[in-house]
Structure 1
Amino acid sequence: MNFNQIIDMLIRMVMRKLMNFGINKGIEMASGKGKAPAEMTPEERKAAGDMRAAAKRARQAARITRRMR
C-alpha cells in the first residue's frame, strides 16, 4: 500500500462519518426533534415518534444494503 492509498482511505472514512452525522441530524430535525415534547400536541408527538421509527428503519435498510455490496 502506498501513501496515497492510505490518505484516500482516511479521507473516505472521515467523509463517511461526516455524511452519516449530517444525514442523522437532518432526519432528527425533520422528525420534530427541534421542538420540546412539552410544546407538542399529542398528535405532533405521535407523528414525531412515527417519523423517528421510520428513520430508524431507513438507516437499518441502508446498513443492510451496504453489507450486500
Structure 2
Amino acid sequence: MNQIINMVIRMVMRRMVNMGINKGIDVAAKRGQGGKDLTPEQRRAAGQQTKRAKKAVRMSRRIGRF
C-alpha cells in the first residue's frame, strides 16, 4: 500500500513541477516588454524562444534520467 501511495505522490509532484517550470518560462518570456507593445514579428520570435526553452528543459530532464 505504501508503494502505491508513494507512486501517486511522485506522479502528482512531477506534474506540478512541470507546470511550474512551464509557467516560469512563460512569465519570463512575457516580462521583457510586457506583451502589449510587441509587434507581430516580435511576438512570433518570443513564442519561438519560449518553445525552445521548454524543449531544452525537456531534453535536460531526459538526459538527467541516465
Provide the TM-score with structure 1 as the length reference: 0.65
**Structure 1 unaligned blocks of 5 or more:** none
Higher-helix-fraction structure: 1
Alignment root-mean-square deviation, CA: 2.8
Match of 2:23 among 12, 25, 31: 25
User: Of the two, which has the highest radius of gyration?
Assistant: 1
**Structure 2 unaligned blocks of 5 or more:** none
**Percent identity of equivalent pairs:** 48
Provide the TM-score with structure 2 as the length reference: 0.68
The count of residues paired between Structure 1 and Structure 2 equals: 64
Match of 2:52 among 22, 44, 54: 54
Tell me which residue corresponds to 1:13. Answer: 11
